[in-house]
Structure 1
Amino acid sequence: MTVTITPAVLQDVAELRQLYFEVYGHGYPVPLGSDPAEMRRLITDPHTHWLVARKPGAGELAGSVVVQADPGSRIGKLVGLAVHPVHREGGLAGRLTGAVCGAALATGSLDSIYSTVRVVTEGPQHIVVRNGFRPLGLMPNAVEVAGCESLALFARYADDVLNNREQVPSVPAPLAPLLTAVEETSGIGYASVRPIEAPGTGLLSGPVVPATTAMETVTARHFVGRRFLERFPDPAGRFFPLHSPNTILTPENGEFEAYADLDPATGSCSLIAVHPYPAAMAHALEPLMTAVTRTGVDYVETLLPLSDTAGLSAFLAAGFVPSAIYPAMRRLGDRFHDYVVLSRTNRQIDFRATAVSSLVQPYLSAYLRAWTAMYLPLHEVVS
C-alpha cells in the first residue's frame, strides 16, 4: 500500500481521534488518542515525535504512532501505534514503527526507546522485534483496556549503549529466573551475576500492619509535585522516566510517604519513590494496596536499580514479584545501569486469553516461578 508518512500537525487532531476510536472503540484509556488538549500539546512538544500515514489523493488517515521522549533520562516510549482496520495487511504498522524510532534515535538525544505491548495477539510483539526491539519482561494484569490485560516490555537501543553496561556482581535469588530469561531472549549477558539469599522479614521496619489500617491518600497533583521535589531534591532519588507523581499514600502517623502515578482509567499505579526509603513501607504493604484498590486500581509496579539489593529485598519481602528488567536503562557518566520492574496485582491472574509468543514465553515462565516461590507454601508446590 502506498502511503505518505509525515509529522502530525494540529489540523490532524480530529481525524486522529476518529482513528483511535475506530481502532480501539471507547476502550482506549490513553489521553493521547482521546483528549484534544493533550494531543495538541504533544504535537507541538519538541520532545515528542508523532508521525501519521496518509493515502495519496484524498489523503485519508491510515495510521499513527508516537515516541514520547524524556530528554533528562535520555529515554523514549513508543506509544499510540494505530493502523486503520482497512489498511492492516500492508505492513504499515512496521513501517510507522521503524520510521518514528529511527527519527527519534537520529536526534542523538536518546539512548533507548521502550514499549509496553499488549499481548491479546502476537502481532504487536513481532512488529516491535522486527524493528530492533528486544523482549525484556511481562507485567501481568498491568492495564485495563478491554478488560484486564497483561503487557510485555520491549526496548530498542542506540549504538554502543549495551556495550557500556555497568556490571552487577550479585542480586537477590528471586531475580535469577528473570535474568536467565533475558539472556535467552535478548542475548544480554548475566552469567557472571551471583544469586544471593535476600534478607527476609528482617527488612521490615515494624510489625506487619493489617489491611484495615487507615491509609491517607492525597491526590492534589500540584501539591504532590512540589512536595516530591522537596523530599527528593537530588534527581538520583527520583528516577522514573516519563512518570510524575500525582498521589501520596501515607499512614496516619506519617512514618513514610509513598509517591505514585495513579491512573484509575487504566487500573494501574506506578510507585515512583518512598520517603525516607523503600523499606519504610514494606511492613505496610497491605493497607497501601487496599487504599490503591479503593481508587479502582488493581496493579502496582515499581522500578529499582538492579544493584539496589536492599531496596529489591524490601519489595520482595513486601510481596512484589520481579516482572521485567531494563538493561542499560540509566546513563550515569559514560556507563549505563540496569533497572528492575517489580509488580503486584490484587486481581486473580488469568493467562488463558494471553497470546504469549515464543519471544515472551521465557518471561511468563520466570514470573510464574517467582510468584509460586513467593505465594505458595513449599509443600503445595512439591505435593
Structure 2
Amino acid sequence: MTAAIQQATPADIADLRQLYYAVYGPHYPTALGNDPAEMSRLIQDPHTLWLVARCPRTGALAGSAAVHGESGSRIGRLEGLAVHPDQRGSGLAGQLTEAVCAGTLDAGELDSVYATVRTVSAGPQRVVARNGFRPLGILPNAVDLSSRESLALYARHSPGVLDRRVPVTEVPASLMPLLRTAEAALGISYADARATPPVPAAPGPAPRRLEMIEAPAFVRRRFKEHFPDTGRWFYPLHTPNTLLTPDDGGFEVYAYLNRTGGYCALVTAHPDPAAAAGWLEPVTRTLTRAGAGYVEALVPLEHHAALSAFAAQGFIAGALYPAMRRDGDGFHDYVVMSRTAEHIDFRGLVVDPPLRPYLDSYVSAWASTHLPVREVAS
C-alpha cells in the first residue's frame, strides 16, 4: 500500500488512540498513545515531528511515528511507531521511519536519533535496521506491557558524528566485553581504552530515613532551580517527576518514574552525583517498592568512579550509546546501566543476528555480577 503520509494534527488524536489500542491493547505505557492532552502538546511541539499515514482509498488511519526532541539538545527519540494490524507486512513501518528521520536527522536538526525496540519478534528490529539504525545493546525487563518485556536499543547517527567521539583512556574491566561488542557492531574503536580495576565503593550511609516525593510540578521547579542548564546533567527526553532525599536534606536524587510501564530513570543528584553514590542501594530499593521493576542510569563512559559505583550495587551495563552528547566539536559516549528487581526470562526473546552479541555480553556480565565464584581446593 502506498499510504498518504502527512503531519499529525490535533484532529487525529481520536484515531491515534484507537490505533495504539489496536496495536498494544490497553497496556501502552506512554502518554503519547493514551493521554489526549499530552498528545496535543506533542503534535504542536516545535521539537517534535509526528507523522501519520492514511489509506488513500478509505482515509482510515493506518500508521503513526514520531521523532521527539527537546530544546537545547540535538538528540531525538523515535517513538510511537505503530502500524494497524490490517496493514502489517505492507512496508508502512519502514516508510514512516524513513520519513520522520528524513525530516529531522537528515535535515541536519539532530546529531542522532535512538529507538527502544520490542523483542517479542524480529520485525521491529528489522524495520529500524533497514532504515539506518544500528544496535547498541539490550535493556532487560525494561517495560511492563501485558508482561515484563526486554527492549533493544538502536540509534542512527548523522554522517561524521561517530568520528568525533572524545577518546576515553580507562574504563572498568567489566565493561570491556560490551566495548568489544560495540566495536564490531558499529565499526568504532576503543583501542586506547585501558581496562582497570573498579574504584572502591563509597561507604554505606548511616541509618537515615529516605523520603520520596512524587509531586511532578514541584520536582520540575526545584530541578530547574538546581540545574538551569544541561551542562551539569544529561538525560535526554526524561523530565524528573520524583525526588528522593534523606531526612537531613544532605542530597537530592531526581528520577523519572513511570508507574504504568513499571520503570524508572535516575536523572541526576544535587549537589553532585557523588553525594548520593553511597545511597544507590536504598534509593533503588525505594523505587522498586514504588513499582519500578526496572531502574536505569545513563553514565558517561569517562566517569570511571560512577560506573564502578553503579556496578557495585548490582547495576549491569547492557548498552553503549557512542557519541550521544555533543560537547563543542566532540561527542561523549554513554553507558546504560540497569538493575531489575524481577526475574529475567529470555526464553521468549527474539533477537536478530546483529543484536545477538549484545545479549551474550549482558548474560556474561549478569553471571559475573550475580553468580558466586567457585573456589577449588587442592
TM-score, normalised to structure 2's length? 0.95
Cα distance in 1 for residues equivalent to 2:158 and 2:304: 28
Q: Given residue 298 of structure 1, which amino acid in structure 2 is its aligned partner? A: G
**What does the per-residue CA deviation read over 1:310-362, in whole Å, with 9 as the maximum and x for residues that have no partner?**
21112112221111111001111111111111111111111111112212111
Q: Given residue 281 of structure 1, which amino acid in structure 2 is its aligned partner? A: A
Provide closer, same or farther for how the CA distance between residues 287 and 132 of structure 1 changes in structure 2, counting only shifts above 3 A: same
**What does the per-residue CA deviation read over 1:143-192, in whole Å, with 9 as the maximum and x for residues that have no partner?**
11121011111000112111111111111111111101111222222233
Report what 1:358 is aligned to: 353
More displaced stretch, 315-324 vs 148-157: 315-324
Is 1:236 equivalent to 2:241 in the alignment? no
Q: Given residue 133 of structure 1, which amino acid in structure 2 is its aligned partner? A: F
Is 1:155 equivalent to 2:150 in the alignment? no
Cα distance in 1 for residues equivalent to 2:330 and 2:305: 22
> May I ask how many residue pairs the two structures share in their alignment?
377
Displacement of 1:136: 0.3
Provide closer, same or farther for how the CA distance between residues 137 and 119 of structure 1 changes in structure 2, counting only shifts above 3 A: same
Provide closer, same or farther for how the CA distance between residues 278 and 376 of structure 1 changes in structure 2, counting only shifts above 3 A: farther
Report what 1:286 is aligned to: 281
Provide closer, same or farther for how the CA distance between residues 6 and 146 of structure 1 changes in structure 2, counting only shifts above 3 A: same
**What does the per-residue CA deviation read over 1:13-38, in whole Å, with 9 as the maximum and x for residues that have no partner?**
11111111111110111111111111
Report what 1:341 is aligned to: 336
Report what 1:308 is aligned to: 303
More displaced stretch, 368-377 vs 345-354: 368-377
Conserved 8 A contact 2:75-2:236: yes
Is 1:170 equivalent to 2:170 in the alignment? yes
Cα distance in 2 for residues equivalent to 1:381 and 1:2: 65
Provide closer, same or farther for how the CA distance between residues 80 and 62 of structure 1 changes in structure 2, counting only shifts above 3 A: same
Report what 2:93 is aligned to: 93
The correspondence of residues 213-292 of structure 1 with structure 2, limited to 5 A, is: 214-292=209-287
Q: Given residue 226 of structure 1, which amino acid in structure 2 is its aligned partner? A: R
Q: Given residue 144 of structure 1, which amino acid in structure 2 is its aligned partner? A: D
Provide closer, same or farther for how the CA distance between residues 380 and 185 of structure 1 changes in structure 2, counting only shifts above 3 A: farther
Report what 2:204 is aligned to: 207
Report what 2:61 is aligned to: 61
Q: Secondary structure at the match of 1:160?
A: coil
Report what 1:23 is aligned to: 23
**What does the per-residue CA deviation read over 1:271-327, in whole Å, with 9 as the maximum and x for residues that have no partner?**
000223334333333322221122211111111111111211121122211111110
Report what 1:73 is aligned to: 73
Conserved 8 A contact 2:199-2:304: no
Q: Given residue 330 of structure 2, which amino acid in structure 1 is its aligned partner? A: R
Displacement of 1:44: 1.0
More displaced stretch, 187-196 vs 348-357: 187-196
Provide closer, same or farther for how the CA distance between residues 242 and 334 of structure 1 changes in structure 2, counting only shifts above 3 A: same
Conserved 8 A contact 2:253-2:269: yes
Conserved 8 A contact 2:111-2:157: yes
Q: Secondary structure at the match of 1:38?
A: helix
**What does the per-residue CA deviation read over 1:192-225, in whole Å, with 9 as the maximum and x for residues that have no partner?**
3211111133xx1x33668xx6321011112212
Report what 2:367 is aligned to: 372
Report what 2:34 is aligned to: 34
Cα distance in 2 for residues equivalent to 1:369 and 1:227: 40
Q: Secondary structure at the match of 2:80?
A: strand
Q: Given residue 131 of structure 1, which amino acid in structure 2 is its aligned partner? A: N
Is 1:113 equivalent to 2:108 in the alignment? no
Listed as ranges, the gaps of 5+ residues in structure 2 are: none
Report what 2:321 is aligned to: 326
Cα distance in 1 for residues equivalent to 2:356 and 2:197: 26
Conserved 8 A contact 2:280-2:310: no
| Fraction of identical pairs, as percent | 54
Listed as ranges, the gaps of 5+ residues in structure 1 are: none
Report what 2:126 is aligned to: 126
Cα distance in 2 for residues equivalent to 1:106 and 1:4: 21
Q: Given residue 325 of structure 1, which amino acid in structure 2 is its aligned partner? A: L
Displacement of 1:129: 0.7
Q: Secondary structure at the match of 2:100?
A: helix
Provide closer, same or farther for how the CA distance between residues 207 and 290 of structure 1 changes in structure 2, counting only shifts above 3 A: closer
Cα distance in 2 for residues equivalent to 1:330 and 1:82: 28
Q: Given residue 379 of structure 1, which amino acid in structure 2 is its aligned partner? A: R
Runs ≥4 residues deviating over 4 A: none
Cα distance in 2 for residues equivalent to 1:250 and 1:345: 22
Conserved 8 A contact 1:259-1:274: yes
Provide closer, same or farther for how the CA distance between residues 307 and 286 of structure 1 changes in structure 2, counting only shifts above 3 A: closer
Cα distance in 1 for residues equivalent to 2:74 and 2:313: 31
Conserved 8 A contact 1:278-1:314: no
Conserved 8 A contact 1:279-1:314: no
**What does the per-residue CA deviation read over 1:65-97, in whole Å, with 9 as the maximum and x for residues that have no partner?**
110012412000000011111111211111111
Q: Given residue 143 of structure 2, which amino acid in structure 1 is its aligned partner? A: V
Cα distance in 2 for residues equivalent to 1:328 and 1:341: 13
Cα distance in 1 for residues equivalent to 2:281 and 2:72: 34
